[in-house]
Amino acid sequence: MTRIELTVNGEKRSDEVEPRLLLVHYLREVLGLRAANVGCDTTSCGACTVLLDGKSVKSCTVLAVQAAAGDVVTAEGLAPAGELHPVQAAFRRNHGLQCGFCTPGMVMAAVGLLAENPHPTEEEVRTGLEGNLCRCTGYHNIVQSVLSAASATGAPATGVSA
């Protein structure tokens, strides 16, 4: 066992973990934070995306011990209880989800994308989310949600591209 100390959603944590424990399992099973989903479990689908030190990462391919001393943010930590982060609000306004399984990962990838590029073009949103799969194929509204979140007014995006 290895002791890790890290910050998760603003709270200091200190836990004994097996070195082989994946970050996504640490979050879900040790901390009970179930937003990050295990989808493909092979670094492809992005459903497990969280922020580690401000950057989007796939938590199925990070060991909990690699996150030691780091700062992890999951979808639960984006906004105070009962409130929505602007990206979450934009997903709701624009119906940026269907079944919802990919949504926490999409939202976290989008938050990471907008931190690096606050005003992306539609093309940059599409390539910026290339690490996240929506098997409902609801990409159109997801992209519109991110564009809406990025716009100064926060108004629902209306542009429809061919």
Partner 1 sequence: MIPAPFEYAAAESAEHALRLLAEHGDDAKVLAGGHSLLPMMKLRLATPELLVDIGRLDELAGVTTDGDELVVGATTRHADLAASELARAEAPLLAYAAAQVGDPQIRHRGTIGGSLSHSDPAADLPMALVALGGAMQLQGPGGTRLVSADDFFQGYFETALQPDELLTAVRVPRRPGVPWGYQKFVRRSNDWAIVGAAAVAGRIALASMGPTPLRARAAEEALAAGASPADAAALAADGTAPGEDIHADREYRRHLARVLTRRALEHQTG
Taking the CA of residue 79 as centre, how many other CA atoms within 13 Å lie in the half-sphere pointing to its CB? 12
Give whole-number Cα distances, 66 to 34, 36, 45, 83, 91, in Å: 20, 17, 21, 31, 31
Q: Which of 112, 114, 138, 149 binds partner 1 (CB under 8 A)?
A: 112
Query: Which x/- pattern over 28-67 shows residues binding partner 1 (rule: CB under 8 A)?
Result: -------------xxxx-x--x--x--xxxx--xxx-xx-
Based on CB atoms, which residue is closest to partner 1, 53 or 154?
53
Q: What's the closest the beta carbon of residue 61 comes to partner 1, in angstroms? A: 5
The string of DSSP codes covering 84-120 is --HHHHHHHHTT--SS-SSHHHHHHHHHHHHHH-SS-
Pick between residue 33 and residue 60 the one whose CB is nearest to partner 1: 60
Distance CA 124, CA 150 (A): 12
Min CB(82)–partner 1 separation in Å: 29
Q: Does 2 engage in binding with partner 1 (CB under 8 A)?
A: yes
At its nearest, how many Å lie between partner 1 and the CB of residue 33? 18
Q: Are 120 and 88 in contact (CB under 8 A)?
A: no
Interacting residues with partner 1 (CB under 8 A): 2, 18-20, 22, 41-44, 46, 49, 52, 55-58, 61-63, 65-66, 68-69, 109, 112-113, 127-128, 130-132
